[in-house]
A and B are shown apart, each in its own frame.
Chain A
Amino acid sequence: MVPAVETLDRAPSSSAAPVRRIALIGNPNTGKTTLFNALCGVRAKTSNFPGTTTAMRTGHAEAPGHVTLDVLDLPGVYDLEIDAPESRIAAALLEGARGPAPDAVVVIVDACNLARNLVLVGQLLVRRVRMVVALNMVDLAERRGLSIDAPALEARLGVPVVPMVARTGRGLPALREALERVHPGGPGSGAEAPAAAAVSRWADEAAAVVSSETASAHAHDRFTERLDGVLTHPVFGLAAFIAIMGTLFWILFALATVPMDLIEATFAEMGTLVERLLPEGPVRDLVAQGIVGGIAGTVVFLPQICLLFFLITLLEDTGYLARAAFVMDRWLSRFGLPGHAFVPLLTAHACALPGIMSTRLIPDLRDRLTTILVAPFMSCSARLPVYVLLTTLLFADRPGLAGLAFAGCYLLGALAALFTAKLFGSTILKGRAKPMILELPSYKTPSLRNALLTARDQGLSFLSTAGTVIVAICIVMWWLSAYPKVDAPPEAARLRAAAEAPALPNDQAAALLAEADALEVKTAQAGSFAGRIGHTLAPAFEPLGFDWQLTVGVLTSFLAREVFVSTMSVLAAGQAATDVDEGVVAKIRAMTRDDGRPVFTPATAASALVFFVLAMQCLPTLTVTRKETGGLKYAALQLGYMSGLAYAAAFVLYQSLRAAGVA
C-alpha cells in the first residue's frame, strides 16, 4: 500500500525550489552513512551537534519535482528511550528542541536484523514521526536466504518501505520518490502505532509476519561465524589484529610521506617566490615565512588525516573494526581504556592530531576523554628526529645502545599513556568504566566512494576548525622567533670583509661567508623574543641540566617537536636542518655553554630525551584537544599534566645521573 500523496513544501527559497528537511536515523552498522553519502555526495559538511562534541553531518540532495532535500545524518541509535548521549541528541532533534524539527525521517533498517531494527521504527511510530523506511542491505539478506515482503511491511507500518542497497545505489531513485510523496498525516493515517511499553514484542511480531526470518537463535551466518572464529580468537585474533593494524600503520607512514613532502616542497617554493616578488622588509618576512609557513604547517597534516579516515572507514565498513575493539578490550580494559581506544593510540604513533580526531569512534564520553588525554604520549613521527639526535648524542659510538634507547622511548611513551589512563580513571575521570557491550556487525564489502567522501569531509572539517587556529599559532611562533631584529655582530662584518679579499680562493671565501651567516643567525635567534624568553626561563630548566640554548630549543619546539633539531642546528651552526646527518650531530655535540662546558653531557642528553618523550610539545595537538573536548579545560589539563610529568621525570633522571657521577 502506498500512502496518500501530499507534499511537505516549506517556505520556498528565493529560487522558489521547495526545500524539505530530512533526517536519517537508524541503528549503528545499518549503512546510514553510506546512504547519506549516496544521497548527498560531495555536497556535505561535518560539524558538531550544537552544544555537543558529537559529530553531525549535513548535506543537500535532489528529489523529483525539483525538490531540494536538506539532509541531516543523526547519530546511530538503537533505542530512543535509553539514557545515552546519542539517543538524547536524536530525540531532541526529532522533537525540534535543537533547531527546527525535520519534515520527515528516513529510518534505515538492516534487512538482516529486521526485528531488532523495527524497535526503533516502532518508537518513531509512537512519536507519530513522518517517515520512510529504507530497508537496506536486502542483497545480503537474500544471500542468507532471508526474504522480506516489503509491501506487507509497508501495509503493516502504514509508511512507505523502500528495499535498497545503499552501497550500490539500488533503490535510491525509489527512496527519492518516496521522500517526495511521504504523507503529512503521519502514521496515524496508516496502521496503528504500537503501545509504547510493548514496542519490542510488536517488532518481533511484525518481523515474523513479513519475513522468513525465524526467531530461533540457531539460525546463524556460517561465513561470519567462521571468520569470527579466527578474528576474535584470543591468539589468532591478536595475531590478525597486529597484522592488519601493522599494515594500516605502515600505509599511513609510507603513503602519507609522499604528499606531505610534496606539500612542504610546494610551500617552500611559494615562500621563495614571495621573497623574489616582494621588496625586502617586514611585510615580505610576514607573508613568506609567517603566513606561507603557517599554512604549510597546517596543510601538511592533511594527508595523514585523510588517509587515516579513508582506511578506518574501509575497515569499519567491512565489520572488522568491531572485531578489533573486541580483541583489544581484553588488554586495554585493565587500564580503564575501551577496546575502541586502540585506533587512536595506534594512529597517534604517526601523529597525535588524527589520533585524537579518531576518538570519535569511541561511544562513551568518559572513555573518549581518557583516550584523548593520553594519546599524545605515544611517540609520533615528529619526535623521530629528536629521538635520533638525542640517542646519537647519548651513545655516540655505540649504535646498539642508541637503538635500544630509541626503542625505550617508544616503550616509555606507551607505558606513560597506560599509567595515566589508570590514574585518571581513578581520579579526575572517576567512574565505572563501561564494560564492553558491542554489536559485531555482519562482514560486508566496503564502499570506496563512502571511504573517499568520509576522508574528504574529515579533512575539510580539520581545515575549517583546528586548521585556522594552527595557522594563527604558527604565525605567532614565527614572529617570536624572528623579532625583534638585532644588528649583525661586528665579527660577522669582519668575516665578510675578509671573504672579499681578491687573493682568497673561492672555497675559502665561501667558508668565511658561511661562518658569517651562521654567526648572524645565531645572534638573531638569541636576540629574538623566543631567545630572550629562553634566557629568562633558563634558571627553571637548570635542574634538568638545560642551559639557555637548550631552553630556547624546548620553547621553539612547542610549535612542533621536530623544530627542536632545526633550532639546535641554528644555534650550533647558524643553519637550519631538519635531517639529522653526521655534520649536524657533530656541530650540536660541539656546542658549548657560556662557561665553556659542553651543552650536551650524557646526563643532559638523557634528561632531554625523557623530557621530549613525555612533554606536550605540540600546540596543534592542544588545539585539536580543545576542539574535540568542547573547551579549554581538558587541553589545559593535558598541557599541565604532560609538562609536569616530563619535568619531574627529567629532573629525577638528571639528578640521579649526576649523583652517580655520570654527568
Chain B
Amino acid sequence: MVPPATSVESPRSTVVAVPLTTVPVGAVAKLHEVTDVDSRPVLRSLGLTDDCVLRLCQVGDPCIVQVKSTRIGLSNAVARCLYVVPEAGNR
C-alpha cells in the first residue's frame, strides 16, 4: 500500500511532502519528516537530518539516496517512512 502524501505548511506556500518511494530516480528533495521513530536516530547519524537535501540515486527495494557525499541504501520499509518535499525543477 502506498502511504499517503501529507500537506506541509511553508512560509511561501502550501507544499506537499510525499513518501520517498514515490519520487522518481534522480530527483532532489528536502527531507521533511521520518515517521519511523525507531529508524530516526540511525538515519540522523548518517546525515538524514530534518531539512537535509537528498538525491534519489536508485529506485526499488532497496533504494539508494545520497546526502552530501554519503550514499545510503534503504529498504522499502524505511524509504516509505521518509516524507520528502521534491525540489522544483525535478524531472
What residues of chain A have their CB less than 8 Å away from a CB belonging to chain B? Answer: 78-79, 81-84, 112-113, 115-116, 119, 200, 213, 215-221, 224-225, 228-229, 232, 234, 322, 326, 329-330, 333, 432, 435-440, 442
Contact = CB atoms under 8 A, between A and B. Distances in A.
A612 to B, nearest CB: 36
A32 B56 CA distance: 29
B8 interface: no
A539 B61 CA distance: 52
Contacts of B62: 326, 329-330, 436, 438
B46 A437 contact: yes
A121 to B, nearest CB: 13
Most B Cβ at <10 Å: residue of A79, A82, A438: A438
A484 B70 CA distance: 66
A203 B5 CA distance: 31
Interface string B22-53: 00000010000000001101111111010001
Interface in B66-91: 66-78
Contact of B44 (A79, A83, A84, A217): A79
A333 B77 CA distance: 11
Nearest to A120: B45
Contact of B71 (A79, A329, A440): A440
Nearest to B39: A437
B30 to A, nearest CB: 9
A335 B55 CA distance: 30
Contact of A112 (B42, B66, B69, B77): B69
A178 B76 CA distance: 45
B69 A218 contact: no
Nearest to B29: A217
A330 B49 CA distance: 26
Given A234-B60, A440-B73, A84 B42 contact: yes
Nearest to A323: B73
Contact of B68 (A219, A333, A438): A219
A79 B46 CA distance: 9
A244 B75 CA distance: 23
Contacts of B61: 330
B64 interface: yes
A435 B78 contact: yes
A216 B69 CA distance: 9
B29 to A, nearest CB: 9
A329 B54 CA distance: 22
A439 B46 contact: yes
A527 to B, nearest CB: 59
B57 interface: yes
Contacts of B77: 435
A437 B77 CA distance: 10
A436 B64 CA distance: 11
A217 B53 contact: yes
A326 B73 contact: yes
Contacts of B71: 224, 228, 439-440
B55 A217 contact: yes
Interface of B: 28, 38-39, 41-47, 49, 53-55, 57-58, 60-62, 64, 66-78
Given A82-B42, A119-B45, A217 B73 contact: no
8 contacts: A113-B70, A216-B53, A217-B53, A224-B71, A228-B58, A326-B64, A435-B74, A438-B73
Contacts of B49: 200
Contacts of A115: 47, 68
Contacts of B69: 112-113, 116, 213, 219-221, 442
B45 A82 contact: yes
A436 B46 CA distance: 13
A333 B76 CA distance: 11
Contacts of A200: 44, 49
Given A217-B53, A228-B57, A232-B58, A436 B70 contact: no
A213 B68 contact: yes
A217 B60 contact: no
Contacts of B60: 234
Contact of A329 (B41, B66, B68, B75): B75
Task: Pick the 4 closest A-B CB pairs, nearest first.
Answer: A78-B45, A79-B45, A435-B77, A82-B41
Given A217-B28, A217-B66, A322 B73 contact: yes
B75 A333 contact: yes
A116 B47 contact: yes
A570 B61 CA distance: 54
Nearest to A203: B47
B66 A220 contact: yes
A234 B58 CA distance: 11
B63 to A, nearest CB: 10
Nearest to A363: B42
A214 B41 CA distance: 24
A646 to B, nearest CB: 34
Contacts of A81: 41
Contacts of A213: 68-69
Contacts of A232: 58, 64, 73
Contacts of A112: 69
Given A232-B58, A435-B78, A217 B67 contact: yes
Contacts of A221: 69
Nearest to A224: B71
A240 to B, nearest CB: 15
B84 to A, nearest CB: 11
A79 B64 contact: no
Contact of A79 (B39, B41, B55): B41
Most A Cβ at <10 Å: residue of B28, B49, B62: B62
A438 B77 CA distance: 13
B82 to A, nearest CB: 11
B46 A116 contact: yes
B28 A218 contact: yes
A442 B41 CA distance: 23
B68 to A, nearest CB: 6
Contacts of A83: 41
B78 A439 contact: no
A411 to B, nearest CB: 26
A217 B68 contact: yes
A228 B57 CA distance: 10
Nearest to B81: A435
A575 B41 CA distance: 63
Contacts of B68: 113, 115-116, 213, 215-217, 219
Contacts of A436: 62, 73-75, 78
Given A116-B47, A329-B75, A439 B42 contact: no
B64 A437 contact: no
A329 B39 CA distance: 17
B42 A437 contact: yes
